Amino acid sequence: MSFVANTRRNSTETALICLVPGEVLSHQLEEVIVPHRSVRHSPSFTSMKIPPLLTLAALLVSSHLHATTASPIDPNALSMLKRMSTALSQAKAFTFRSSSIIEVPAFTGQSVTLFSVGEVALKRPAMLRARLGGDAPAFDFYYDGTSVSALAPQTKVFSTAKAPATIDEMLAGLRHETGIRFPSAPLLYSDPYAILTRNLQSAVVIGPTSVNGIACDHLAFRSPGVNWEIWIDAGPDALPRRLAVTFTDKPNFPRTIIKFSHWNVHPWLFNSSFVFHKPEGVREIPFAAVLHSADR
């Protein structure tokens, strides 16, 4: 199997993609979905007593967002996003860990919550390695500039496919050809800002906050079919600390929340660590099959 990247195909959906491989849970669980956590109006809602502090907080947020209505794209939000993008694009290599909260619909109609973890290593322009696990199907991913490989160590199966020569080209075709989708995909491109701002409809600064004790700027954006938020380190590192994505063009507004930690933008990475070496006792199967196997 081989694939050629198509950077124009489903650009928004390709840029913001979820942790669990697309076909992994298809026999019982459909596409990764986290219901949108908005309050749905009901006859009893209007009679509920809202605590004063919550009312004040809601008014403050509403006032801030209303002030930006006249200009849906706040240049300050773009400036902060550009600062983060520059920090990542200038890094010749980096590593990080991620933890995700994902709700998926079971065949019964009930939403099931999965907690996933991941480790990612990147070396520009053409090397990427990831290890995914937790409640989500566990597998290892390798890209060395010529091929992509996925290994399900628990079931001892793997798959390999030829791939384009750069991370950007590889990511653009990865989901279509293999079913693999990474939550951090927009951050892995050589120019994250260009990917994240494609077809942008609104951009606002929600305000200062903290993630795991780290001072951050909370930003919110909208693109066709996608609402997303990002929390960026307000310090000199300007690294992303949290990402929340809601697909507004999907039933139940699928949502994924990813928290990033253990960033290292000056790692010592050997090229050999990105090359897949077939372990003893494993067998090769097609990509769709290796992803299904990882779920067993």
**pLDDT tens digits, 156-199:** 999 999 999 999 999 998 888 888 877 789 999 999 999 999 99
pLDDT at residue number 178: 85
Q: Which two tokens stand for residue 225?
A: 């079919």
- Pairwise CA distance, residues 131 & 122, whole Å: 12
pLDDT at residue number 64: 53
Pairing of strands 226-233, 147-152: unpaired
Return the sign of the alpha-carbon dihedral for residues 279, 181, 175, 14.
negative
User: Is 116:136 a contact under the CB 8 Å cutoff?
Assistant: yes
**Mean pLDDT value across residues 149-159:** 92
- Candidate from 25-29, 118-122, 162-166, 289-293 with smallest mean pLDDT: 25-29
**Mean pLDDT value across residues 105-110:** 77
pLDDT at 137 over 90: no
DSSP structural state of residue 177: H
Query: Cβ contacts of residue 160 below 8 Å, gap of 6+?
Result: 147, 148, 149, 276, 284
pLDDT at 8 over 50: no
Q: 86 in helix, strand or coil?
A: helix
pLDDT at 37 over 90: no
User: Is 284:110 a contact under the CB 8 Å cutoff?
Assistant: no
Distance of CA 264 to the CA centre of its chain: 18
User: 42-94, pLDDT tens digit by residue?
Assistant: 333 333 444 544 544 554 555 455 544 456 999 999 999 999 999 999 999 99
pLDDT at residue number 182: 79
pLDDT at 218 over 70: yes
Q: Which two tokens stand for residue 187?
A: 């951050």
Closest CA to 21 of 123, 113, 140, 126: 140
pLDDT confidence of 111, banded at 50, 70, 90?
confident
Query: Cβ contacts of residue 200 below 8 Å, gap of 6+?
Result: 73, 221, 222, 223
pLDDT at residue number 191: 98
CATH 2.60.120.280 holds for 11-34+71-294:
no
Q: Which range among 31-45, 162-176, 223-237 has the greatest average pLDDT?
A: 223-237
Pairing of strands 202-211, 157-162: unpaired
DSSP structural state of residue 20: S
- Pairwise CA distance, residues 177 & 151, whole Å: 16
Domain extent listing, the chain: 11-34+71-294
pTM: 0.75
Residue 38 or residue 115, greater confidence: 115
**293 phi and psi, to 5 degrees?**
-65, -35
pLDDT at 151 over 60: yes
Q: Which two tokens stand for residue 263?
A: 């960033």
Q: Where are the beta strands (DSSP E) in the chain?
A: 93-105, 111-123, 127-134, 139-143, 147-152, 157-162, 202-211, 214-223, 226-233, 240-247, 255-264, 283-284
DSSP structural state of residue 279: P
Percent of the chain with pLDDT strictly greater than 90: 56
Instruction: Return the amino acid letter for 49.
Output: K
Average pLDDT across the chain, whole number: 79
Instruction: Return the amino acid letter for 57.
Output: A
User: Is 170:128 a contact under the CB 8 Å cutoff?
Assistant: yes
pLDDT at 25 over 50: no
Indicate the length of the chain as a whole number: 296
pLDDT confidence of 102, banded at 50, 70, 90?
confident
pLDDT at residue number 7: 38
**Mean pLDDT value across residues 133-152:** 92
Query: Cβ contacts of residue 231 below 8 Å, gap of 6+?
Result: 209, 211, 216, 217, 218, 219, 240, 241, 242, 243
